[in-house]
Amino acid sequence: MNDYVEDESTGTWFKAGCKSAFKNPVLKWGCKQMGEAFDEDLALRFRATVVIHSYLGDATGTGVVGGESGIKPTDMKMFIQLDDFALIDENGWAVKPGSQLSGMPITTRLYIPKGCTTSDGEKKKDISTWQSSSYDIFKLQANIASSSVRTCALHPEVVFYTDSGLQWLRLPLFSQNVIDVRSEWVGVAREGDGVPVGWKRWMPHFRCDKLAFGATNSQVEDRAGGCINTRSKPVFFMSTESGARHPEVAQHIKDSLNPATNKRTNPPKREGQLEVPNPPIKDVLGTKLPKSIPGNWAAPAGSDAGKPLHRTTSADDNKANRLVFSRRSFTEPGTGKVGRMTRRPTIASTTIGKNTSPLRSAGRT
């Protein structure tokens, strides 16, 4: 945070120093912290971290998993933390660390334009207090009917006031992605920048409902109500392209999910084979079969390969899969040494490579 003043003769803007007649409250305070009025660019630096925490409802729909007292399934908490304070010069060097700063009140607050409410007002602390108590908590409520859905837009802010108590500056504590009329991302709005008419700034939002998760599945325990971050997608991207991290892992997964290539992955699947030799025979027999491994995003919907990868609930399948590798002796190729596998493969409790042959051996990915 710095201040800029206009050169009336040229119309250009430049940073205001301590000797400038136009001092904003932060610059005025910062110059006093230095103990002398020297004509140098000063700025207040700090780091803001915002965490929004939602809950999973229990089977009753009135409490949450974990049983936190006074929390309902459609409640949320927001944590706003401010730290890493310093006065810095024009080169970004700290000229006075945060541990030596005091006398500047900084306020955090939560503006909610729609969808939810909060009973927590502004949280005002001196900059010295922020050093020892770096975060504040805001509790949010989404009061909705059992069958409806509500989206809450959230706007966490830091606010600075003048000595007379007037609001001088409010800073949004999130990247304000600018969306055009076609809902395409065009940039990030910054303080002081003009936003063209018709463009919108994105802000964090959560969608809340009281629907029962698992209500149609007898094997899933009911959980009624909750709020989710609709922009948070549990997707992990991997690539086989040059320059990507661990492309060989991505290539192996790609080969395993493709029936045209996964018959060459180990252990092999062979029709009617009741036991896997030690070590497994790779290419001698020439009777390898393709495997149907679920979890392939590119496979047609409804096909075995297109079904979601999930944990199996069958104790028989778990036992059969584990017996393929667990506690079995093996011969190290080329050495004749005999050993025993004692660790259960992590793939054992999933249906990722379960064969349809009597062996039901796991096809590793």
| DSSP secondary structure, 264-288, as one string | TSSSP--TT--S--SSPP-SSS---
- d(C-alpha 167, C-alpha 164), whole Å: 9
pLDDT digits (tens, 9 = 90+) for 49-89: 999 999 988 888 888 988 788 899 999 999 999 999 999 88
User: Highest-confidence range of 48-52, 190-194, 202-206, by mean pLDDT?
Assistant: 48-52
Q: Which of the four pLDDT bands, split at 50, 70 and 90, describes residue 284? A: low
Compute the half-sphere exposure of residue 65: CA atoms within 13 Å on the CB side of its CA: 12
| Residue written as token pair 């020892």 | 132
pLDDT digits (tens, 9 = 90+) for 236-278: 788 888 888 889 999 988 888 888 888 888 777 877 665 556 5
Cβ–Cβ under 8 Å, residues 74 and 144: yes
What 3-state DSSP class applies to 168? strand
How does the average pLDDT of the chain come out, rounded?
79
- d(C-alpha 47, C-alpha 51), whole Å: 13
pLDDT score recorded for residue 99:
92
Q: What percent of the chain has pLDDT over 90?
A: 19
pLDDT digits (tens, 9 = 90+) for 120-179: 989 999 999 998 888 999 999 998 877 788 899 899 999 999 888 889 888 889 877 787
Q: Which of the four pLDDT bands, split at 50, 70 and 90, describes residue 106? A: very high
Query: What spatial distance separates the first Cα and last Cα of the chain, rounded to whole Å?
Result: 50
pLDDT score recorded for residue 141:
92
Give, as one character, the DSSP assignment of residue 17.
B
Q: Which of the four pLDDT bands, split at 50, 70 and 90, describes residue 217? A: confident
Residue type, 330: F
pLDDT score recorded for residue 37:
55
